[in-house]
Amino acid sequence: MLKNVQQELNRFAKYVIQQSRTNLTKGKKNSSKKLYDSLDYDLNVGPNSFSMSFLMEDYGIFQDKGVSGIKKKYNTPYSYTNKMPPPSKMDKWIVRKGLKGIRGKDGKFISRKSLQFMIARSIYNNGIKPSLFFTKPFQKAFKNLDKDIIEAYKLDVEELLKFTTNGNN
């Protein structure tokens, strides 16, 4: 029955995901493509209701909203307190970014383990700057959603009335 409402909600969700993916790419936050590929939505439309949820990798919320470090603060509900991100998690990122051959103070190349630790410590101190890759497109599209849904619902009611009046003749 809510065919037009469903189409409008699908349009809304596809726009938000497409813009979020664009923001990830433009913001250079797409090195593994894991977060990019995980962006999706789930829409359930029943005869009297509908629900929608957006899906992404768990760490996507931290990329979007940011995380305050112990030295640098951002306007975000998330923060590092007493635990540093695991240095071992930096390894694949270091390889994807092509970071190698970094020299220490003595002029010798530092080990990858040392590089992992330095990056993890930097994130712990400085946090993760909010990118709002998802928040901005969602808010932009959400501004017009209510009037678009009302218009779609109006079309659904008109179609229902046409169907019921034509069916009774």
In the chain, which stretches have pLDDT less than 70? 1, 101, 160, 163, 166-169
Please report, for the chain, the start and end positions of each structural domain, with discontinuous segments joined by +.
1-66+130-169, 77-129
pTM here is 0.80
Beta strands in 21-159 (DSSP E): 40-45, 50-55
CB atoms within 10 A of CB 7: 14
Position 63 scores a pLDDT of 94
**Burial level of 132, CB count in 10 A (0-12/13-18/19+)?**
middle
* C-alpha span between 99 and 137 (Å, rounded): 32
* C-alpha span between 15 and 93 (Å, rounded): 29
